[in-house]
Amino acid sequence: MTAALELHPDRLFPADPVTRAIARALYAEVADLPILSPHGHTDPRWFAVDAPFEDAVALLLAPDHYLFRMLYSQGVAMGDLGVPDREGRTTAEPRTAWRLFAMNQHLFRGTPSAVWLDHVFAEVFGLTVRLSAETADTYFEAINAALATPEFRPRALFDRFGIEVLATTESPVDTLEHHAAIRASDWAKTSRGRVITAYRPDPVIDAEHEQFEDALRQFGELTGEEVMGWTGYLAAHRKRRAEFKAAGATSTDHGHPTAATADLPRVEAEALFKSVVAGRATPAEAELFRAQMLTEMAAMSLDDGLVMQIHPGSFRNHNRAVFERFGRDKGADIPTRTDYVHALKPLLDRFGNEAALSLILFTLDETSYARELAPLAGHYPALKLGPAWWFHDSPEGMRRFREQTTETAGFYNTVGFNDDTRAFLSIPARHDVSRRVDCGFLARLVAEHRLAEDEAAEVARDLAYNLAKRAYRL
């Protein structure tokens, strides 16, 4: 017998009936607010071209490292799930891949992926039975049939989801042609929302990035600057940042292995850069150059107003065999211990007291919440805390974030929620989870008489909408 797929109206709310009732009332205030997605990794081509999504596997399974990393951990081959290799090839037949996914749904019990998926299946596609081996074909056919209709094209879904702003993330060597096409489209004139970009300079900053040499060459060709010299290299960044800003960008993003910053004298920075571009940089020099460039990016942000995000602390592509066959972002990125107090001091010594600079910090190291991040953000005018991120983008992770940061940083040194996802259809689900969890946290403060209910309602709206709009200058 197939089981019904039901989304309980009180899901993720506190179990205590008094607190749950308060959470329910607070959630009613924020449930239908527009979605601000100021940082993410969806493909701008979707909205530029507005072509139908291919099928259930290509849209929901193959791009989602949250899903295939769990399946891979249980011995399911990525190729069998339709995950393309480095050359974009896949031999998996979509229906067979989907059946394999459905057969292993039990692996996701208790995970945030299950919460997101059930929301997508029920709310986006209107499915009423749970995904299982028995219902795999029903799901596959229903989803594919929906994707073939105009209502499920990218622009229609964007508008249906109530998205006010969606930021994608592009590298300095991206031509931004898709963003230009979006801005020139009739849809951009009629939609209530907009798609913008964000500047992610990692490929031309990280000397250990496998694309560094080619990206640096393209960087010079695209900007017309002499990027093999320090002056021209910095000028190229300024030029591209201006072009990104013209394409709607309000932020930059930096995915460094650590949060290390440096503030070298110019002569030392130039000598370090020469070593980097000559291919002679040691691992320590590559780290020092990344550290110096965070401070250089902060200086540029103070000039051009772009909000700066730092997403450190991931050992990227830990599984070498998977990286060699499938490339980046295939579920083998592992959190590491991350220092912020010492790592950020060179940048903060120079810019930490600048209220005009907006620097948003993220972490994969939860031990730093109360010890380092909340005290830093609770003092320096330039700093704000990004939400629970990646491995901690879960109900429990969000609660831990609030519990460990609020007492020192408060709510207003945080920036609300951003979904940071490639999985477009899960965006409403992720924001709904955040709103429910925050309302549950606030409800507890009300029930304990630590916060008045009208204050909690105001904070709930700020966390769901206003803080992100303010922090990302939207």
pLDDT reported for residue 11: 98
Give how far Cα 472 sits from Cα of 39, 68, 400, 415, Å: 9, 31, 24, 8
CA-CA distance, 385 to 370, in Å (whole number)?
A: 12
CATH topology of domain 52-152: uronate isomerase, domain 2, chain A (1.10.2020)
Q: From the first residue on, what is the mean pLDDT of each consecutive set of 10 residues in the chain (474 residues)?
A: 92 98 98 98 97 96 93 96 91 95 97 97 98 98 98 98 98 98 97 97 96 97 98 98 98 98 98 96 98 98 98 96 92 96 98 98 98 98 98 97 98 97 96 98 98 98 98 97
Give how far Cα 446 sits from Cα of 25, 29, 211, Å: 12, 15, 51
**Is the dihedral angle over the CA atoms 140, 142, 145, 148 positive or is it negative?**
negative
Question: Counting Cβ atoms within 10 Å, is residue 251 exposed (0-12), middle (13-18) or buried (19+)?
Answer: buried
Q: Where are the domains of the chain?
A: 17-51+154-471, 52-152
The conformational region for residue 389 under phi > 0 = left, psi -120 to 50 = alpha, else beta, is beta
Angle, CA 354 vertex, CA 262 and CA 349 arms, to 5°: 30
According to DSSP, the residues that pair with 195 across neighbouring strands are: 166
Q: Which residues contact 441 (CB under 8 A, 6 or more apart)?
A: 399, 402, 403
CA-CA distance, 37 to 174, in Å (whole number)?
A: 21
pLDDT reported for residue 422: 92
Q: What DSSP assignment string belongs to 306-373?
A: -EEEE---EETT--HHHHHHH-SSSS--EE-----TTTTHHHHHHHTT-TT--EEE--S-TTHIIIII
Q: What is the pTM of this model?
A: 0.96
User: CATH second-level architecture of 17-51+154-471?
Assistant: Alpha-Beta Barrel (3.20)
pLDDT tens digits for 332-376?
A: 999 999 999 999 999 999 999 999 999 999 999 999 999 999 999
Is the separation of the CB atoms in 289 and 276 below 8 Å? yes
